[in-house]
Structure formats: structure tokens, C-alpha cells
Amino acid sequence: MKKNLFLTLFLCLFTVTALQAQNKRSSIPLKHGAHRIGKRTDAEMQRWREHGLGQFIHWGVYAIPGGTWEGKYYPGAAEWIRSWKEMPKDAYDNLYKQFNPTAFDAKKWAKQAKEMGANYMIFTTKHHDGFCLWPSAYTDYTIASSPYKKDIVKQVVDAYTNEGIDVHLYFSIIDWNYQGYRSSPPVTRQDSISYESFKQFTRNQLIELLTNYPTIKGLWFDGSWDKAWMNEAAWVDQLGNELRAMHPGLVIGSRFRADEFGKRHYDTNGDLIDDYDQTWERDLPNSIEDLNGSDWDCVMTVPENQWGYHSEWRGYVKTDYDLIEMMVKAVSMDGNFVINFGPDGKGNIRPEETELAQKIGEWMKVNKEAIYGTHHSNVKKQDWGYFTQKGNKLYLCVFNKPINNRLMIEIPKGGIDLLKACFLENNQEVEIKSAGRNKRNSSLYHVVLPDSYQVVRPFVIVVDTEQKGSDKDEYQQAKI
């Protein structure tokens, strides 16, 4: 009897402890929080995950003033110039009458992006100013009212899709042009009526975009930090479901909706809302632990914080190798890296960006194998750079060549065998030498670079590996 009681007590305690171990997060029942725990497993999301490199394009009527008004320099982000006290709202709202980008050639943009190595692109259909680059049926403030007239979104979607580049559409929830738009929750009855009309307008436009451009792969939302929008958790959630039902496989990031407690990106229970984490904007995590096991993207500007065209970039401008390193760092932690371009008011991509695209493209031609479809490696990071991995291939992406010419690799006991190492750039083999063991009993190896090797750019060494035969099971268990 006593024995049974002990057994029951033990079992109870064991169950509670096991449950606690599983549920580290709180579990408040949420109607509009995450609808899935963990990553999506379908083919569309897998395709997105393997992109590695993307291109962002911010384009709109803000490209006409290009960050200046009547000779004055706007120090903010060029696409925000309408909010500047020096810029009369009326002047901004009439810019579309001059929008006639005669140099715009979507095929040229798409070709350049392809050569850079981008696998997907994100295009601003409508930024905060509300100007639509497609002929929306729900407002007159569109490209159709400009002298240019033609549908720009369609040209971009078709040209990039033809190059084999997946298109995602950027859409701003903030709309400074629509008269019913509010950033704060409605207070008066009139406010409520206005905001209802804005919600319907937003829904109509999103349905319109998915209807007009059925080949797109995702929607990239922005401006959803408005309190009015966050207050509509149920309605926005329903809209998301509707969009997903219309367009199976649609990829939507965490910047679309808040849960019913106003939590964005990660819900009240700490679970990611929608398909990937969009908080890494102009910022990179330092380690995989910062990422909560989520898919994620990092969108990055070339100068400090300019998305739309600014005629005069001031301050530090990132170089090709800066951007390549950020991309590799992102990919080494299972993220996608997206480089922003801001074409000018005529539709030209500025020379600085063209040059960057070419240089990044040259690097990608040689090293893309280390980027596309690769993922985080469990092999411990070293100071010389980043590991990426695909199947049995381990990629050593080197940004800081050690003075001793030896690239350290640490393999835990019973891990993998390193078979052969070669430069990706010319297949030249490099020696792998044992460097003993450390106190954790991990095997240390050096990939020994030839003394004559002159570093002129970041380089990649691919190492063929093999799971250790007899230790395989032990290692698999150790990973759990």
C-alpha cells in the first residue's frame, strides 16, 4: 500500500516536472496569437528559406525630391520626407503629377538582381504616403493618375518572375493619403466610421494585389505598429486567413498583426506570429540562440538609413564586402539577407548600387554554393568567419584570415570526419591537419592555407565530411 502511494507520488512529480520542462513559455489561451508552434514545413516555405539573398526595392514619388526640398537637405529617410516640416504636404501630394519614370525598365532591374545573385525580391507597392504603383480600383492616388500611367507593379512582377526571382509585395498599413486612415484607435463615432472604411479599403487593396499578381510568393507588411491597427487583432487575423485561403503557400512575416493583448512579432506566450521573424531590420543576431528557432530575414540599407532614393548619401556607405559578410552571417544562422535599392525618379538604379550589385554578383558566382540552400551548422563558430552547411558539405566562409594561416575547426567527440578541403574559387585542395584535442575531448583540426595565399576578398573553403561510422548513433543521441 505504502509502496503504491510512493509510486503514485513519484509518477505525479515526474509528470509535472516533465510538463514544466516542455512548457517553458506561458500558455494563456489566445485567439489571435500564433496559429502554429515552430516552423512551417511546406514546400513554399522551404523554398523561401533557401533563398539566402534577396533584393528590396523602395520606389515611389518620394524618389522625385530625393531627400531634398527647395535646396534643403532632409536628414531623415528619403521616403519619409512628407513628414518633414520643411516639405509642404500639398507639394508632396502633387508630386505624382510629375511621376514619369521614362528610364524605368523592369527587365533591366531584374537582370541586374539576377546577376547579383538574388533569389527573391520585395517591392514597395504602396509606402506610407499611400501612392500606389499599381492602378488600384479603390483610390485615384495611383500610377494610373500619373503621366506615366502604366502598371509598374505588373512590370516588376513579370520581369523578376521571368528571371526566376520570387516576388514578395511590400504593403504599408500606414496610409497618409486615405482620408479614413487613423493611426490611433477611433474615439468618436465619425472616427469609427472612417476607420471602418479604411479597413475595408486595406482589405480590398490586398485582395486586389493577390488577384492581379497571382505569381507572387508573399506579402511584406510594414507600418503595422499603429495602435489603431493593433487594436483590430480579430479582424486582422481574419483578413490574414482570408489572404492565405486565396493564395495557398503565401508567406507572411511577423509584421502584419498583433495578438489580442497588443503583442507584435511574438505573441503573449512568446510564440512567433505568422511565418518568419521580421524584427531583424538593419540588425543581425549574434548567435542562433537569439532567434527562438524562428525563420527570419534581415533587410539592410546600403547607407545608414535610406530606403527610398536620396540624392545625397551622407555618412558611411556599406561596401560589397560589408554586405557579403552580413549575408553570410545571416545565412549561417538560417536567415535570409535582403539588400535595399532605391531607384531615382526616372527609374534609374543609382551607379553606387549598380556597382555593388555587380561586385556582389561576382562573389556569388564563385561562392553561391555556400549560400543557396545552406543552413546553420552545429560546428562551433570560429573567429575567422562563419560556417554554413548542406548535407555532408561544410563551408568555411573566411573573412579574417588568421596570421598563422590555419583555420581552426572543432569537432565534438564522435562527431564528423573531415575528408577533404578545397577552395571554392578554383577547387584547389588544402591540407587538413589534426591539431589534437581540447579539454572537452573535441577533435581540433587546422585547414592549412598555403603560405603563398594572398587574400584579396572573402573566400570559401568547402570541406567534405562524413558522419563517424561507429559513433553515429551515440552522436545522434547526444544531440537530443
Binding interface with ligand JFZ (CB under 6 A) = 77, 79-80, 222, 281, 299, 307
Q: How far is the CB of 340 from ligand JFZ (least distance, A)?
A: 7
> In terms of Cα–Cα distance, which of 296, 368, 364, 298 is closest to 334?
296
Q: How far is the CB of 308 from ligand JFZ (least distance, A)?
A: 7
- Phi and psi torsions of 35, nearest 5°: -105, 5
Distance of CA 20 to the CA centre of its chain: 33
Q: How far is the CB of 170 from ligand JFZ (least distance, A)?
A: 7
Q: How far is the CB of 224 from ligand JFZ (least distance, A)?
A: 9
Q: How far is the CB of 181 from ligand JFZ (least distance, A)?
A: 15
Distance of CA 343 to the CA centre of its chain: 20
Matching residue, cell 508632396? 92
> In terms of Cα–Cα distance, which of 280, 274, 283 is closest to 297?
280
Q: Would the CA dihedral through 370, 371, 373, 376 be positive or negative? A: positive
Half-sphere exposure of 178 (CA within 13 A, CB side): 28
- Phi and psi torsions of 420, nearest 5°: -160, 140
393 to 11, 57, 118: CA distances (angstroms): 45, 33, 22
Q: How far is the CB of 61 from ligand JFZ (least distance, A)?
A: 14
DSSP track, 190-232: HHHHHHHHHHHHHHHHHHHHHHH-TT--EEEEE-TT-HHHHTT
Q: How far is the CB of 425 from ligand JFZ (least distance, A)?
A: 34
Identity (one letter) of the amino acid at 479?
Answer: K
Q: How far is the CB of 314 from ligand JFZ (least distance, A)?
A: 17
Nearer to ligand JFZ, 301 or 374 (CB): 301
Nearer to ligand JFZ, 146 or 340 (CB): 340
Q: Would the CA dihedral through 241, 243, 245, 251 be positive or negative? A: negative
Q: How far is the CB of 219 from ligand JFZ (least distance, A)?
A: 14
Nearer to ligand JFZ, 166 or 222 (CB): 222
Q: How far is the CB of 223 from ligand JFZ (least distance, A)?
A: 7
Nearer to ligand JFZ, 258 or 299 (CB): 299
- Phi and psi torsions of 172, nearest 5°: -90, 130
- Phi and psi torsions of 421, nearest 5°: -125, 135
Nearer to ligand JFZ, 77 or 113 (CB): 77
How far is 442 from 157, CA to CA, in rounded Å? 50
Cβ pair 397, 390 in contact under 8 A? no
How far is 387 from 382, CA to CA, in rounded Å? 8
Nearer to ligand JFZ, 79 or 166 (CB): 79
Q: How far is the CB of 280 from ligand JFZ (least distance, A)?
A: 9
**What cell does 425 get?**
574559387
Cβ pair 306, 67 in contact under 8 A? yes
How far is 476 from 466, CA to CA, in rounded Å? 14
Helix (H, G, I), strand (E, B) or coil at 381: coil
Q: How far is the CB of 390 from ligand JFZ (least distance, A)?
A: 30
Helix (H, G, I), strand (E, B) or coil at 154: helix
Of all residues in this chain, which one has the CB nearest to ligand JFZ in the complex?
A: 307
How far is 415 from 392, CA to CA, in rounded Å? 12
> In terms of Cα–Cα distance, which of 474, 328, 315 is closest to 400?
328
Nearer to ligand JFZ, 129 or 325 (CB): 129
**What cell does 441 get?**
575531448
